[in-house]
Amino acid sequence: MTGSSKPGKRRPAAAAKKGKSRAKRRPKARQLHFREPAPSLPRRILRFLNRLILFSIVLSITLVLPLRWMNPATSSYILQASWLEQAVITQQWRDAESIAWTMKMTVIAAEDQNFPLHYGFDMNAIRQALNDSQNGQGLRGASTITQQVARNLYLWPGESRVSKWSRKGLEAWFTVWLEMLLPKSRILEIYLNIAELGDGVYGVEAASRHYFSSTAGQLSLPQAAALASILPSPKTYSVFQPGANQQQRREWIQQQIRQLGGQAFLRQHQL
């Protein structure tokens, strides 16, 4: 046919688009990656200390808070006496309601008369102990019932200077947590059940049966005072053959109970 021309070949649409996209490509800008400088030594130390403090707080709460509802299965001192000294352990748990008021009052009168009032540390007793030491009367103990619970539950006996100071620091730490997380009545109940009252004898129920063939709920005032009088050194002092000083201490304990108010003192402070 005249006037008709043969059409030229057209480039496929996909190829045209590919070429167009190639034409539009531009080299990408090179991205520079900068590595952060390593933290300085003081910063690393601070970070480590923060983590250590956080871990210590979590661990302490884990160890102390359940005692608000659960009785401790044992204590550090009991375990050490059993494992290291191969002692035969006698202990029977008794709830606070099953323990005679006389026993509660004798340990308060003998060990910590400000127990319901302080927050774990009796500062007046500490100052008096330091004054007595400076006056040449020897350094006597000023540990509260809460401090003794912290020591017996979690720590260890030790005679070296390093051991004593490290133990005192941990004792103070756990004392704070016990006071914050447990009521006073619960702290007293635990103390009465884990206190050492003879060679392998722990708790007032086991002591009542061992010494008087009785129960903790049946202790008379003289019997309770006899048990409380050996608390400073239960492996040294005798329940049945007290020395003159120990006999005076028993009488002093009973006198202090009368001055404190006896059962009324326990009711007043919900102990």
pLDDT digits (tens, 9 = 90+) for 128-186: 767 766 666 554 567 899 999 999 999 987 666 667 788 889 999 999 999 999 999 99
In a domain, 8, yes or no: no
In a domain, 222, yes or no: yes
Q: Domain residues for 220? A: 46-268
Indicate the pLDDT class of residue 124, thresholds 50, 70 and 90: confident
Number of domain units in the chain: 1
Paired residues of 174 in beta bridges? none
Can you give the CATH number for the domain in which 95 is found?
1.10.3810.10
In a domain, 131, yes or no: yes
pLDDT digits (tens, 9 = 90+) for 219-251: 999 999 999 999 989 989 999 999 999 999 999
Indicate the pLDDT class of residue 1, thresholds 50, 70 and 90: very low
Alpha-carbon gap, residue 210 to 143, rounded angstroms: 27
In a domain, 125, yes or no: yes
Share of the chain above pLDDT 90, in %: 67
Calculate the average pLDDT of the chain: 86
pLDDT above 90: residue 26: no
Q: Where are the alpha helices (DSSP H) in the chain?
A: 13-24, 41-64, 76-83, 101-111, 123-134, 145-154, 161-181, 184-194, 204-212, 221-229, 244-260, 263-268
In a domain, 194, yes or no: yes
Please indicate whether residue 205 or residue 166 has the higher confidence score (pLDDT): 205
pLDDT digits (tens, 9 = 90+) for 96-108: 999 999 999 999 9
The token pair that represents 264 in the structure block? 């009324």
Please indicate whether residue 40 or residue 208 has the higher confidence score (pLDDT): 208
- According to DSSP, residue 27 is labeled P
Alpha-carbon gap, residue 151 to 111, rounded angstroms: 15
In the prediction, which pLDDT does 28 show? 59
Tell me the average pLDDT across 10-39: 58
**Residue of 77, 57, 53 lying closest to 199 (CA atoms):** 77
Q: How many residues are present in the chain?
A: 271
Say how many Å lie between the first and final Cα of the chain, rounded.
Answer: 122
In a domain, 27, yes or no: no
In a domain, 171, yes or no: yes
Share of the chain above pLDDT 70, in %: 81
In the prediction, which pLDDT does 237 show? 93
pLDDT above 90: residue 91: yes
In the prediction, which pLDDT does 43 show? 86
In the prediction, which pLDDT does 2 show? 47
In the prediction, which pLDDT does 22 show? 54
**Residue of 158, 223, 182, 200 lying closest to 96 (CA atoms):** 182
pLDDT digits (tens, 9 = 90+) for 54-82: 999 999 999 999 999 999 999 999 999 99
In a domain, 32, yes or no: no
